[in-house]
Structure 1
């Protein structure tokens, strides 16, 4: 596994969009993507939706990448949370990186998952 992926941390936030807010919520998604595109530690970032549930699939190099991202999109996230509830937040990664996030993310009440095993399958 590459050095980058061995430190990768993925976030899995699920948002329950409140009634009447779907259009406003989805209209903010491109702004999140544009801000996140400036982050060198971002490995991938995208949104998907099922009815009134939205999901953001995202990963970063290390806990520092996660914290930098949250600082970068903080104002947008506050707007999201005016339109939706954070229904669930999972954080997946190696134990050392997860430990760095437990304190800073405590207010979001995430579920932390420690990576046990896996593989990297490079395309090139």
Structure 2
């Protein structure tokens, strides 16, 4: 089966300290504002369950994901000083994941290789 889906999805989960929730939500607004300007960003948003904040984000290939990481690096460093990164998943085609590995070596990331599917 040939896979044409070049989307790379990144799924970080953060534990937000209750006393810093407002500060984190302000950072989230900045993340969204910056990400909305990225031409290779397919979708981007935050969801919440209790004290866990999740960012659902997708990019056109590893190039899009790498451009995003560069664009939000300062904000990422800020949120990592406030929140615990409890989980980080990256999903995509094996070749695209290989391009991302060097940029994520300092984070506790788990890579998931796309096996089958489609994108509209």
Give TM class, smaller chain.
Answer: over 0.9
> Does the alignment pair 1:65 with 2:59?
no
Question: Structure 1 length as normaliser, TM-score?
Answer: 0.89
Alignment of structure 1 residues 25-104 onto 2, 5 Å? 25-104=24-103
Unaligned runs of 5+ in 1: none
Q: Deviations for 1:1-29, whole angstroms, at most 9, x for unmatched residues?
A: xx9x6211000000011241111111211
- Equivalents in 2 of 1:46, 1:99: separation in Å? 25
Q: TM-score, normalised by structure 2?
A: 0.92
What SS class does the counterpart of residue 58 from structure 1 fall into? strand
SS at match of 1:65: helix
Separation in 2, partners of 1:19, 1:57: 21
1:39-89 CA-to-partner distances (Å, cap 9, x unmatched) read 000000000111211000000011111111011001111111121011110
Alignment of 1:16-27 (within 5 A): 16-27=15-26
Give the number of equivalent residue pairs.
118
Hey, what does 1:106 align to over in structure 2?
Answer: 105
Superposed CA RMSD: 1.4
Deviation at 1:119, TM superposition (A): 2.0
